[in-house]
Amino acid sequence: MNILQSFIEALNSLSSNKLRSALTILGIVIGVGAVIALVSIGRGAQGAITDSIQGIGSNLLFVFSGGSTNDVRNPKPLTLGDFNAITDPFAAPSVAMVAPLLQGSAELSFGSESARIQLAGVTPDYSIIRNWNVTEGEFINEAHILGRASVVVLGVDAADKLFGRKAGVTGETVRIEGQPFRVLGVLEMKGGGSFGSQDELALVPLTTAQTRLLRRSTRDRVDALMVQAVSAEAVPYATEEVAQILRARHRTEIGKDDFTIFTQEDFLATVGTITNVLTIFLGGIAAISLLVGGIGIMNIMLVSVTERTREIGLRKAVGAHKIDILIQFLTESSVLSLIGGLIGIGLGWLISFIVARIAAANNAAINPVLGLDIILLATIFSTAVGLFFGLYPANRAASLEPVEALRYE
């Protein structure tokens, strides 16, 4: 018996009991669909987070106070003195630009509307390092820094919360912690990031934040430094130069830095590890559905063997070999799982499409990635499940004695 003939006979046999075959296929459909959907959504989420981190800027280092080990006591805070030292081109030739940062949250209000929004005190270089432009108005400049100006640049979501619109708000006056601030401009949309929305924020001059909004223990203290290297290849050199400058200024012991430096690659590697583990974990859970579907195939094939005992005996009596019976039942189980796998691919794509639409409606940039490797893996795995779980029923059918099979009622 050739493969094509076995395939045709398998289709005829399965079509004789359509409802039972459909219910058996359903388990495989759900399993394959779940695997494809979860893996593609996981890849899409990883891509969205990666784009978000890369969208912060290019060739960046993030410097925070506090060491990476627990044995660092009383770490010195980052200061404007550290900022000025790092901007020295002779001490740090691999550094192109540095932006000090004060971060916190504040109550912003306009008329009867109010919202608690992320607030940051920044310098003009912040917009360059972050690759951030304004859609209207202007960004903070040196005159605002020197004059401790009461001006604010709003993200589009912050503007929408306060004014009910995302444009035409430049020149309006809002209150930050009860103090009047003139809206200087509106930032371009960045979208949701891995640490929350990048558009629901307000930026004020660093000096204004220091003296009136985000006070720290000392006037020159800052929360973080954003450092841009001259190129992607210079990032390791810039990291070492910044570390050496801070070690000298903070007089730290060897191996006990009281600061931490992260690069974008560090964030991307961490995010990649987490999302890969989650994707594998979710894919593994979904694969359990395939095993359940495989058990369903075994169950239905055992029932089929019992129902067709006389048929098997008759075929063996007229000359069919054991291998022919084995191939026939293995083909039936494989066809069940293959059809289920193909329908499951369509279901997985449909689920991914719906998730992408829902994410887009909620301003979450998640685009599921349905790769050919996932489709092939799911198809091959589903077929393998059919072969594996159909092996025992097929072998049982092939091992029946013709005389006993013909006598079976």
pLDDT tens-digit profile of 115-164? 888 999 999 989 888 888 888 889 999 999 998 899 999 988 888 888 88
Q: Is the pLDDT of residue 387 over 50?
A: yes
Q: Report the pLDDT averaged over residues 216-237.
A: 84
Please give the share of the chain, as a percent, with pLDDT higher than 90.
Answer: 7
Q: Report the pLDDT averaged over residues 316-324.
A: 70
Query: Which position has the higher pLDDT, 84 or 72?
Result: 84
Let me know: does 182 contact 171? Beta carbons within 8 Å: yes
Q: Report the pLDDT averaged over residues 254-277.
A: 73
Query: Which position has the higher pLDDT, 155 or 334?
Result: 155
pLDDT at 75: 72
pLDDT at 326: 74
Q: In the predicted model, what is the mean pLDDT of the chain?
A: 78
pLDDT at 2: 61
Question: Hey, where are the domains in the chain?
Answer: 3-53+269-407, 67-257
Let me know: does 336 contact 21? Beta carbons within 8 Å: yes
pLDDT band at 71 (very low <50, low <70, confident <90, very high): low
Q: Report the pLDDT averaged over residues 291-318.
A: 71
Phi, psi of 72 (to 5 degrees): -90, 115
CA-to-CA separations, 190 to 51, 198, 199, 358, 359, in angstroms, rounded? 10, 6, 6, 19, 15
Q: Report the pLDDT averaged over residues 106-115.
A: 87
Q: Report the pLDDT averaged over residues 362-367.
A: 68
Exposed (0-12), middle (13-18) or buried (19+): which is 53, by Cβ within 10 Å? buried
Which tens digits make up the pLDDT trace of 35-48? 888 778 877 777 77
- Gyration radius from the chain CA atoms: 32
Packing angle between helix 18-55 and helix 3-15, nearest 10 degrees? 110
Please state the length of the chain. 409
pLDDT band at 96 (very low <50, low <70, confident <90, very high): confident
**114-123, 298-307, 396-405 — which is least confidently predicted?**
396-405
**22-26, 112-116, 296-300 — which is least confidently predicted?**
296-300
Q: Which residues contact 270 (CB under 8 A, 6 or more apart)?
A: none
Which tens digits make up the pLDDT trace of 268-299? 666 667 777 777 777 677 677 777 777 777 77
pLDDT at 139: 92
Q: Report the pLDDT averaged over residues 360-373.
A: 72
Pairing of strands 173-176, 221-222: unpaired
Q: Is the pLDDT of residue 349 over 70?
A: yes
pLDDT at 194: 43
The span from the CA of 403 to the CA of 350, in Å, is: 51
pTM of the predicted structure, to 2 decimals: 0.60
Q: Is the pLDDT of residue 205 over 90?
A: yes
Q: Is the pLDDT of residue 239 over 70?
A: yes
Q: Is the pLDDT of residue 55 over 60?
A: no
**51-55, 86-90, 389-393 — which is least confidently predicted?**
51-55
Nearest to 206 by CA among 226, 187, 191, 186: 226
Q: Report the pLDDT averaged over residues 62-84.
A: 76
pLDDT at 364: 64
Centroid of chain to Cα 72? 33
The structure tokens 């025992």 sit at 392
pLDDT at 195: 46
**54-63, 84-93, 346-355 — which is least confidently predicted?**
54-63
Phi, psi of 170 (to 5 degrees): -60, 135
pLDDT band at 404 (very low <50, low <70, confident <90, very high): low
pLDDT at 152: 92
The span from the CA of 309 to the CA of 331, in Å, is: 17
pLDDT at 53: 60
Q: Is the pLDDT of residue 405 over 60?
A: no
